[in-house]
Amino acid sequence: MISPIKIWRRQKEIRKILGKKGKILVWTKIFTPGADFKKYAPYPVILVELENKEKIYGQLVDYDEKDLKTGKKVISILRKVRSSTEEGVIAYGVKFKPL
């Protein structure tokens, strides 16, 4: 279980990244995920170099297979990252979408 306090504290970091554009440096597809992510498998995870040269990794969403290539332009977006907890808290995080 992820604490609602931890989710709240991460908001400051997430806001700095949202809406940033970048390009894919490397990618891989996860076929055997952890228990919390089995329903999403297989899914791609990418390493992105943002326009300010910062590097960040995350899941690629709303993509076609042709989008899985180095140099592809992406943008960071906010998406649900886990199912709701017993307390009803839904965790959101940064994912990437092709441009």
pTM of the model: 0.81
> pLDDT by residue for the chain (99 residues), tens digit each?
566 677 667 777 788 888 999 999 999 999 999 887 888 889 999 999 999 999 999 999 999 999 999 999 999 999 887 766 666 777 788 999 999
Name the nearest CA neighbour of 52 among 17, 25, 97: 17
DSSP 10: H
The structural architecture, per CATH, of the domain 4-98 is Beta Barrel (2.40)
